[in-house]
A and B are shown apart, each in its own frame.
Chain A
Amino acid sequence: MLERNQVLICGGTGCMSSKSKEIKDTFENVLLNMGMKAEVGLVLTGCFGLCEKGPVVIIYPEETFYSHVTIDDVEVICHEHLLKGRPVERLMIKDPVDKKQIKNISQLKFYSKQKRIALRNCGNINPLDINEYIAKDGYMALAKVIKEMTPQEAIDEMIKSGLRGRGGGGFSTGKKWQFAKNSISDQKYVICNADEGDPGAFMDRAVLEGDPHSVLEAMAICGYAIGANQGYIYVRAEYPVAVERLKIAIEQARSYELLGKNIFGTEFSFDIDIRLGAGAFVCGEETALIASIEGYRGMPRLKPPFPAIKGLWGKPTNVNNVETFANVPVVFLKGAEWFKSIGTEKSSGTKVFALGGKIVNTGLVEVPMGTTLREVIYDIGGGIPNKRKFKAVQTGGPSGGCITEKDLDTPIEFENLTALGSMMGSGGMIIMDEDNCMVDVARFYLDFTVDESCGKCTPCREGTKQMKVILDRICEGHGTLTDIDELEKLAHMIQETSLCGLGQTAPNPVLSTLKHFRHEYEAHVIDKTCPAGVCRELTHFAIDDRCIGCTKCAKNCPTNAITGWPRQKHIIDLDLCIRCGACKKACPVGAISSVAIHEEKRV
């Protein structure tokens, strides 16, 4: 029977962990009991992007957007909305600004400012059903390319589109294909780099989970263009849902003969296999990734020779990132001209960002290049929660740097971000507010790179470790001004002498925080205080004269360290204080802050 309603339930990892799978099962049971199974469709899709509001359920054709749905709500939705046509207002998403219920997805500002190309099908189709992908013009690009274009024409189209590597490097994808095509060999390979390792970045996972076929199709197009007949997807074993859906997708594509021998009745044959990575950050570097597929330790080697000349098992290999591949079918469907018209002159198309940290709408957003950081953070991301002040945004994960308030109006472009001392990276965007200590942030990222350094070259292995030791010293209150100079010197040395990108970019978070927040470092070593109140040893909370004596801080203090009469200024006993920050969060007027020791005596 024709379906009058379709219920789309988010099946991204975020919503799955808050039981979206069980919600779907419950829907199935309830609808069965009500005898509406045939007329209401149920689809578990990929990520909708608004992970903050998960689990998310969208009901078509009304496009009602339900957020934070629980298993207990399913019965109500079925009875009220699906049977009686009365949408459940209590569950409708509210506008973050005026708290009004939003009846229709198109009213959501979160989506209206986005342009979805790589994520075009995420949250729209059932990733476990190849037919739904085909319905959205899936595999049409592949058919067009291998039936109507020569490999060289396909590459020319790619070069013309201006698509650049979305994994962070920003190298022209078309040119990369050209190098691999120019290499003469009996055997070539295509590799999809799905070893997404940046803390806080999850766009590749979303694509693989929500639209696995777009990657398969693009890999086949690439195979045709460069002359390869075998592809590998190198994906982290920590992405079980993505791996599972990829496996199903590959099986389905094979059964439709869209992968395998003589695709579309032509001479062209292409197949894809999955290789699991053990989750080492360095394996995102292409030579380390290739070593890992070959069964060696994942360690990078010197380039050149580039993989396009000597890659997997010594054969020419083209490595592209998941998001890059997800863009490829669209380039051929809508044409290079169309793709070029989006974004900016030098960076065409869109970029997916994973918003995280201190932001209202945590989740995935895709915006045209050239959008400003402010638009992404405030208009789409909804700004900073709890009335805190914006401090910085970290782009590019542990390889990038932070960008401050004054540069927020910079249009997002590969070159612009690099000029600011950060980088595009894979698209992680961590927002920090006044409660974040920048020294601690730098230490967090460095801690990550120390752990993830493969140990092959000394600057990265030993250098980052030494930087970490210095940062620990500063955070614990034993730092000196020489330490800061030493840190800077070491950082530059590691940048210049490391073997691969991991080491070359590892000092970036330290350097950029030093550049923009040197005063915080100095507060740590001179005043022996952590202005944000994060580094425990250096936190001395004090209440200033703005105190209205509401007693909220005293009530929230777990150790009863705060005393004072109502409507009179309160006092913190630092001997009892455990620096948990509960009082600071509770204070309605912002009268509690961490002060320097000498100041605190004065207070």
Chain B
Amino acid sequence: MKSLEDLKKLRDEALKKMNVRYIKGGYRFQVGMGTCGIASGAREVLQGFLRELSARNITNVSVTQVGCMGECAYEPMAEIIDENGQSFVYCTINETMIKEIIESHLISHQPISKYLLTSRKG
């Protein structure tokens, strides 16, 4: 370590790993992990979100598991709560949707209405 810049670089790198302990605010991804959710693949969805987020180096997002969300027929479901506290519930999520949701909703702030529970239930 020779300079302050080296130290700062190391700090920012290290902070990424610990972010989950300190992020307040930002986007929250809550994946329904009830028995129904797990049976229809919520584990894979949860891991998929984590994989995509870390591949894109996005850190201001917390991904958590929550209990059954009540609409078992539409599992796996995930609720996305944005910085303003507005919530969007995505349902019957699969691998390709994960990428789309992150790209469109998280990065370009465009919720994908066709995947939302409200529109699917009609």
Contacts and interface: CB of A to CB of B under 8 A. Distances in A.
Interface of A: 1-6, 8, 39, 41, 60-62, 82-86, 124-125, 131-132, 134-135, 137-140, 143-144, 147, 256-258, 264-265
Given A60-B20, A84-B33, A4 B10 contact: no
A85 B21 contact: no
Nearest to A148: B4
Given A3-B20, A6-B21, A124-B21, A264 B3 contact: yes
Contacts of B1: 256-258, 264
Nearest to B28: A61
Given A1-B50, A82-B65, A6 B20 contact: yes
B17 A3 contact: yes
A131 B10 contact: yes
B14 interface: yes
Contact of A264 (B4, B8, B32, B54): B4
A125 B15 CA distance: 11
Contact of A140 (B11, B21, B47, B53): B11
A135 B20 contact: no
A135 B18 contact: yes
A31 B35 CA distance: 18
B4 A131 contact: no
B111 interface: no
B2 interface: yes
A265 B14 contact: no
B34 A84 contact: yes
State the majority secondary structure of interface residues on B: helix
Interface string B1-37: 1111001101101110110110100000011111100
A257 B53 CA distance: 33
Contact of B7 (A60, A82, A132, A140): A140
B20 A4 contact: yes
Nearest to B13: A131
Contact of A84 (B2, B23, B62, B67): B67
5 contacts: A3-B50, A85-B32, A131-B13, A138-B11, A143-B7
Contacts of A1: 47, 50-51, 54
B65 A83 contact: yes
A4 B18 contact: no
A60 B24 CA distance: 11
Given A6-B20, A84-B65, A84-B67, 16 more contacts: A1-B47, A3-B50, A4-B62, A4-B64, A5-B65, A60-B20, A83-B38, A83-B65, A84-B38, A85-B66, A85-B67, A86-B67, A131-B14, A134-B11, A140-B8, A144-B4
- In the complex, which of the residues B8, B14, B18 has the most CB atoms of chain A within 10 Å of its own CB atom? B18
The 9 closest A-B pairs by CB, nearest first: A85-B65, A135-B14, A2-B54, A131-B14, A85-B66, A135-B15, A4-B63, A265-B2, A60-B21
A134 B67 contact: no
A139 B7 CA distance: 8
A13 B8 CA distance: 32
B21 A2 contact: no
Contacts of A124: 21
Nearest to A131: B14
A139 B31 CA distance: 38
Contacts of A6: 18, 20-21
Given A82-B65, A139-B7, A39 B20 contact: no
B101 interface: no
A39 B50 contact: yes
A4 B65 contact: yes
Nearest to A126: B18
Contacts of B20: 3-6, 41, 60-61
B77 interface: no
B40 to A, nearest CB: 14
B93 interface: no
Nearest to B31: A85
B91 interface: no
- In the complex, which of the residues A82, A135, A139, A147 has the most CB atoms of chain B within 10 Å of its own CB atom? A135
B80 interface: no
Contacts of A3: 17, 20, 50
B7 A134 contact: yes
B62 to A, nearest CB: 5
B49 to A, nearest CB: 8
B4 A134 contact: no
Interface string B40-73: 0001001100110110000100111111000000
Interface in B89-116: none
Given A134-B7, A134-B10, A139-B7, A85 B64 contact: yes
A406 B67 CA distance: 52
Nearest to A80: B67
Nearest to A124: B21
- In the complex, which of the residues B8, B17, B23, B30 has the most CB atoms of chain A within 10 Å of its own CB atom? B17
A6 B23 CA distance: 12
Contacts of B32: 85
Contacts of A134: 7, 10-11, 14
Nearest to B58: A2
B33 A85 contact: yes
- In the complex, which of the residues B1, B10, B33 has the most CB atoms of chain A within 10 Å of its own CB atom? B1
Contacts of B47: 1, 39
